[in-house]
Chain A
Amino acid sequence: MRSHTVSAEGGAAAVVRAEDSLDAHAYDTISGGDWLCDQDAVEAFVHEAPREMVQLEHWGCPWSRQPDGHIATRSFGGMKIERTWYASDKTGFHMLHALFQTTLRYPPIIRYDEWFVTRLLIEDGRCQGVVAIEVATGRVRAFIAKAVIICSGGGGKVFPFTTNANIKTGDGMALAYRAGVPLKDMEFVQYHPTGLPFTGILITEAARSEGGWLVNKDGYRYLQDYDLGTPEPKPVKRSMELGPRDRLSQAFVKESQAGRTVSTPHGEVVHLDVRHLGEEEINKKIPFVRELCLKYQKLDPVTEMIPVRPVVHYMMGGIHTDLDGATPLAGLYAAGEVACVNINGANRLGSNSLTELLVFGARAGRAAAHFAGGQHEPGSTLMAQALDEARRLQRDFLDASGGTERVAPLRVELQEAMEAGAGIYRNEEGLSEAAEKVKRLRERFKDVVLDDRSRTFNTELISVLELSNLLDVAEAILEPARTRTESRGAHQRTDFPERDDDKFLAHSMTYHTEAGTPRVEFTPVTITRWPPAERVYGR
Chain B
Amino acid sequence: MPEAVTLEVFRYRPEDDAEPTYESFEVPFHPEWMILDALNYIKDDLDGSLSYRWACRMGVCGSCGMMVNGRPVLTCATYMEGLLPGPIRVEPLPGFPVIRDLVGDITDFMDKLVAVKPWIIRDEENPLEEGEYLQTPEELADYKQYSMCINCMLCYAACPIYRIEPDFIGPAAIALAQRYNMDSRDEGEQERMDVLSQHDGIWACTLVGECSEVCPKDVDPAGAIQRYKVSATTDFFKSMLMPWSKGAG
Which A residues are closer than 8 A to B by beta carbons?
1-2, 4, 6-7, 51, 54-55, 57-60, 62-71, 90, 93-94, 97, 101-102, 104-105, 113, 136, 165-167, 198-199, 201-202, 291-292, 295-296, 406-408, 450-452, 454-460, 463
Contacts and interface: CB of A to CB of B under 8 A. Distances in A.
B164 to A, nearest CB: 26
B119 A451 contact: no
B47 A451 contact: yes
B198 interface: no
A406 B48 contact: yes
Contact of B58 (A97, A101, A296): A296
Interface string B7-51: 000000111100000000000000010000000000111011101
Given A292-B58, A295-B77, A60 B183 contact: yes
A64 B140 contact: yes
Interface stretch (B98-106, B205-213, B231-239): B98-106
Nearest to A3: B61
B144 A62 contact: yes
Contacts of A70: 132, 134
B136 A65 contact: yes
Contacts of A408: 43-45, 48
Given A291-B59, A454-B15, 20 more contacts: A2-B61, A4-B55, A6-B56, A58-B126, A58-B185, A60-B119, A60-B183, A65-B137, A104-B119, A165-B55, A165-B56, A166-B56, A198-B32, A295-B59, A296-B59, A454-B49, A456-B13, A456-B15, A457-B101, A457-B103
A101 B48 contact: no
Interface of B: 13-16, 32, 43-45, 47-49, 51-52, 54-63, 77, 99-101, 103, 105, 110, 113-114, 117-120, 125-126, 128, 131-137, 139-140, 143-144, 147-148, 150-151, 176, 180, 183, 185-186
Contact of B57 (A67, A166, A459): A166
Secondary structure of the A side of the interface? loop
A57 B61 contact: no
A291 B218 CA distance: 12
B134 A94 contact: no
A60 B61 contact: no
A408 B135 CA distance: 49
A65 B144 CA distance: 12
A104 B120 contact: no
Given A1-B151, A165-B61, A201-B58, A459 B133 contact: no
Contact of A166 (B55, B99, B132, B150): B55
Contacts of B77: 295-296
B48 A407 contact: yes
A349 to B, nearest CB: 23
Which of A63, A90, A452 gathers the greatest number of chain B CB atoms within 10 Å? A452
A454 B100 contact: yes
Nearest to B31: A298
A6 B15 contact: no
Nearest to B217: A291
A2 B58 CA distance: 12
Contact of B134 (A2, A51, A68, A460): A68
Contact of B135 (A51, A69, A198): A69
B99 A456 contact: yes
A165 B62 contact: no
B1 to A, nearest CB: 14
A54 B129 CA distance: 9
